[in-house]
């Protein structure tokens, strides 16, 4: 992959026909370094957010070598990383995938949220005596921009019996939850940990691990969450209140927060109609969340010689290249008035759930790829306070 100092430098050499995924692996490394230094436990990466080899390698190099995976295909992709530890955390798994994960890929950690799934895991691993089993519990997703609730997770009423049963089959037993993606209120984690504490007390079952899932936020024009240090403070406070704090490992599984900043997409404007720009990537490419989840991504004009900023700016809407009218990104996206056909735009913060959601609809969905060494347009990590090493935490977890 070719390396350039910025998108406009790249465009001085090339006029790409296809949209270009611009990787900033240094941003993934910075995020991983921050989590490893500041999370009081083990940091897993949720591979579904972005499984590009360059990103996986950068995270692994920064010390994130444990992965939350949800399918055999993800397991195969991640297993090529040396010493990768795989956590198969999808609460509903095909029988054949459980068996292959256990036998061929050495997976020993599985999530479940029902008696049936627990049976499946036990049967397909031949009643193995070396499993770590995580009970996925339902928890409120009220503080997240992309709620994930309703699909997975055992209810408060049914959790104690299932936990008790699993204690008898698991070598190590854990509890896990997901507060929803882009959780913008740190209390989401504290509340869920409090719920875990109540479950431990009401069931009388001790656990060896608590996996607090993903949901850590990234920065977008429409979402300016508190600093990640506030999340860590909340987690440490809530974890310190648990009865099992001395004997229990804490884990987290960020996807978005580790990789959002690590990719932008460079698109070309193929038409302008009023304040609508027709671009060559969209809802069925790397910009799904702008169409279907109300996301606004940061944008700038990167045509060489026209990187105008400070000139009069206008709110634009964007249309992607397919014939579907759902290929519409309402934004608004703020750009100079003068932007028009032939200009190139950099759309930032698409490293999480960007390339992985792109499909081939209408013959689109192919990208060129480059590496950029400059800074992303927005960051949770680049500001001086965040960059400074925080003091070592006192949490016993
Ligand atoms: C998607 C997912 C994650 C990552 O979520 P983010 O919001 O991207 O941090 C972590 N764990 C599980 C089980 C998931 O399904």
Along the 397 residues of the chain, how does pLDDT read in single tens digits? 999 999 999 999 999 999 999 999 999 999 999 999 999 999 999 999 999 999 999 999 999 999 999 999 999 999 999 999 999 999 999 999 999 999 999 999 999 999 999 999 999 999 889 999 999 999 988 889 988 888 999 999 999 999 999 999 999 999 999 999 999 999 999 999 999 999 999 999 999 999 999 999 999 999 999 999 999 999 999 999 998 888 899 999 999 999 999 999 999 999 999 999 999 999 999 999 999 999 999 999 999 988 766 678 999 999 999 999 999 999 999 999 999 999 999 999 999 999 999 999 999 999 999 999 999 999 999 754 444 444 444 343 4
What is 3-22+261-372's CATH number? Answer: 2.40.37.10
CATH 3.20.20.10 in the chain is located at 25-259
Atom of ligand 1 nearest to the CA of 49: 8
Probe target for ligand 1 pocket from 49, 71, 260, 380, with the most ligand atoms within 8 Å of CB: 49
Those residues whose C-beta lies under 8 Å from the C-beta of residue 99, and which sit 6 or more positions away, are 124, 125
* Cβ < 6 A, ligand 1 pocket: 46, 48-49, 68, 89, 178, 181, 213-216, 253-257, 352
Atom of ligand 1 nearest to the CA of 68: 11
Q: Give the residue, by CA position, lying nearest to ligand 1 atom 5.
A: 214
Atom of ligand 1 nearest to the CA of 136: 13
Q: How far is CA 296 from CA 219, 222, 287, 331, 358, in A?
A: 10, 6, 10, 5, 17
Six-digit token string for 378: 């927005």
Six-digit token string for 328: 């519409």
Q: How far is the CA of 265 from the centre of ligand 1 (A)?
A: 22
Q: How far is the CA of 213 from the centre of ligand 1 (A)?
A: 6
* 133 in Cβ contact with 170 (< 8 Å): yes
CATH 2.40.37.10 in the chain is located at 3-22+261-372
Atom of ligand 1 nearest to the CA of 181: 7
Six-digit token string for 52: 């590009």
Probe target for ligand 1 pocket from 253, 258, 263, 380, with the most ligand atoms within 8 Å of CB: 253
Those residues whose C-beta lies under 8 Å from the C-beta of residue 198, and which sit 6 or more positions away, are none
Alpha-carbon span 194 to 201, nearest angstrom: 11
Fold of domain 25-259: TIM Barrel (3.20.20)
Alpha-carbon span 376 to 304, nearest angstrom: 18
* 334 in Cβ contact with 314 (< 8 Å): yes
Q: How far is the CA of 179 from the centre of ligand 1 (A)?
A: 9
Coil, helix or strand for 139?
coil
Q: Is the pTM here over 0.85, yes or no? A: yes
Probe target for ligand 1 pocket from 87, 213, 228, 254, with the most ligand atoms within 8 Å of CB: 213
pLDDT of residue 51: 95
Atom of ligand 1 nearest to the CA of 353: 8
Q: How far is the CA of 275 from the centre of ligand 1 (A)?
A: 35
Q: How far is the CA of 255 from the centre of ligand 1 (A)?
A: 6
pLDDT of residue 396: 37
Atom of ligand 1 nearest to the CA of 256: 8
pLDDT of residue 308: 67
């Amino acid at each position: 992959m070719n390396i350039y100092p910025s998108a406009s430098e790249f465009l001085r050499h090339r006029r790409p026909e296809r949209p270009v995924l611009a990787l900033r692996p240094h941003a993934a490394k910075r995020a991983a370094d921050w989590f490893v230094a500041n999370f009081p436990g083990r940091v897993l990466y949720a591979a579904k957010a972005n499984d590009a080899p360059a990103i996986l390698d950068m995270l692994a190099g920064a010390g994130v070598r444990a992965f939350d995976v949800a399918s055999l295909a993800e397991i195969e992709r991640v297993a090529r990383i040396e010493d990768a530890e795989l956590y198969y955390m999808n609460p509903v798994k095909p029988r054949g995938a459980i068996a292959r994960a256990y036998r061929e890929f050495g997976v020993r950690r599985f999530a479940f949220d029902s008696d049936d799934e627990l049976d499946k895991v036990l049967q397909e691993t031949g009643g193995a005596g070396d499993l770590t089993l995580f009970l996925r519990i339902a928890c409120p997703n009220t503080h997240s921009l992309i709620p994930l609730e309703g699909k997975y997770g055992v209810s408060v009423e049914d959790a104690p019996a299932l936990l008790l049963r699993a204690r008898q089959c698991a070598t190590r037993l854990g509890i896990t939850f997901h507060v929803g993606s882009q959780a913008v209120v740190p209390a989401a984690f504290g509340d869920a940990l409090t719920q875990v504490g109540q479950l431990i007390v009401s069931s009388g079952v001790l656990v060896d691990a608590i996996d607090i899932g993903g949901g850590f936020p990234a920065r977008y024009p429409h979402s300016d969450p508190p600093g990640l240090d506030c999340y860590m403070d909340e987690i440490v406070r809530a974890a310190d209140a648990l009865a099992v704090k001395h004997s229990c490992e804490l884990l987290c599984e960020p996807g978005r927060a580790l990789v959002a900043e690590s990719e932008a997409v460079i698109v070309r404007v193929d038409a302008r109609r009023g304040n609508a720009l027709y671009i060559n990537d969209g809802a069925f490419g790397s910009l799904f969340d702008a169409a279907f989840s109300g996301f606004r991504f940061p944008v700038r004009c990167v045509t060489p010689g026209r990187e105008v900023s400070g000139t009069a700016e206008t709110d634009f809407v964007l249309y992607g290249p397919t014939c579907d009218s759902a290929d519409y990104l309402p934004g608004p996206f703020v750009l100079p008035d003068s932007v028009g056909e032939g200009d190139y735009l950099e759309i930032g913060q698409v490293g999480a759930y960007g390339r992985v959601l792109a499909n081939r609809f209408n013959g689109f969905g192919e990208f060129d790829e480059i590496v950029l060494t400059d800074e992303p347009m927005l960051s949770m990590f680049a500001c001086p306070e965040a960059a400074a090493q925080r003091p070592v935490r006192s949490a016993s977890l």
